[in-house]
Structure 1
């Protein structure tokens, strides 16, 4: 069963602590196994429902760290949503400012900007519409059908990043 952890964190744009606690749901053994399989497939060019392998430089190790993610494409913009909350990949992405998405031989470097909570409701709704069946358990009672106010209330628990791909696609 996943466990929830909270701890103070810093704002993505400053080193000042924010007023909310960092929410994180740790993966269980089955989640870790499934992530391994989905990541292995993505590295070999097989995407399950749009998945890709995210790689980000570790903020302390300086080594590449990878995890499968579900990039959300809306219009000409790509977003990454952390369903589990303020995870290690989120912390590494905040520190590194970018990373790469891999699907088989296609490696797409990107830079990332974290969205404010006020910008998140529409993205969270679209993410839950697409992958709610997979990640809905990490959002509690919030679903794609939730009100904007309910999505806004959930926003601090789910970091969202807007990506700009190195080829110029994917950003605003």
Structure 2
């Protein structure tokens, strides 16, 4: 597994565009959102479909592919917008330290294994401690509502 990022195939890019349209129309699975984040260099707003994890009474975004553009941009901007159909939320992101990630990564993989297992050498269902090896290369963000 690469240390930082797994590039999307042409098929994955096509599927992501299709799912992005489904989320935009509000017909995708309920856990999916369209993430909007401002580019750290260009200032352009970029969008991508993401799986929103609800765990321990909080909401999380996990970059299964590693250091993706959206993760780097969210880190730099400190905020994101999540859309689904006509509704949207502007949220602050708080990136977790590596020591705090294993339990969240485990929950993410257990919940979305059919979609993201290929990005992790640790199999779904493994104990949380097994995810310490992937924590440093897997960005995890807590979503915090604006007050």
TM over 0.5: yes
Q: Does 1:145 align with 2:125?
A: yes
**Unaligned ranges ≥5, structure 1:** 7-22
**Structure with the larger helix share:** 2
| Aligned-partner Cα distance in 1 for 2:109–2:129 | 15
Q: Does 1:83 align with 2:64?
A: yes
Structure with greater Cα Rg: 1
Q: Is the 8 A contact 2:106 2:127 kept in 1?
A: no
Aligned-residue offset at 1:157: 1.6
Aligned-residue offset at 1:44: 1.0
Residue deviations 1:38-62 (CA, integer Å, cap 9, x gap): 1111111122251110000011111
Aligned to 1:44: 25
Q: Is the 8 A contact 1:77 1:162 kept in 2?
A: yes
Q: Which has the higher contact order (CA 8 A, sep 6+)?
A: 2
Aligned-residue offset at 1:75: 3.5
Aligned to 2:139: 159
Aligned-residue offset at 1:65: 0.3
Secondary structure at the counterpart of residue 24 of structure 1: coil
TM-score when normalising by structure 2: 0.94
**Unaligned ranges ≥5, structure 2:** none
| Aligned-partner Cα distance in 1 for 2:145–2:21 | 22
Match for residue 52 of structure 2 among 52, 61, 71: 71
Q: Is the 8 A contact 2:94 2:141 kept in 1?
A: yes
TM-score when normalising by structure 1: 0.81
Moved over 3 A (4+): none
Larger CA deviation: 73-82 vs 94-103: 73-82
| Aligned-partner Cα distance in 1 for 2:30–2:57 | 19
| Aligned-partner Cα distance in 1 for 2:57–2:87 | 19
| Aligned-partner Cα distance in 1 for 2:30–2:108 | 12
**Structure with the larger strand share:** 1
Equivalenced residue count is 147
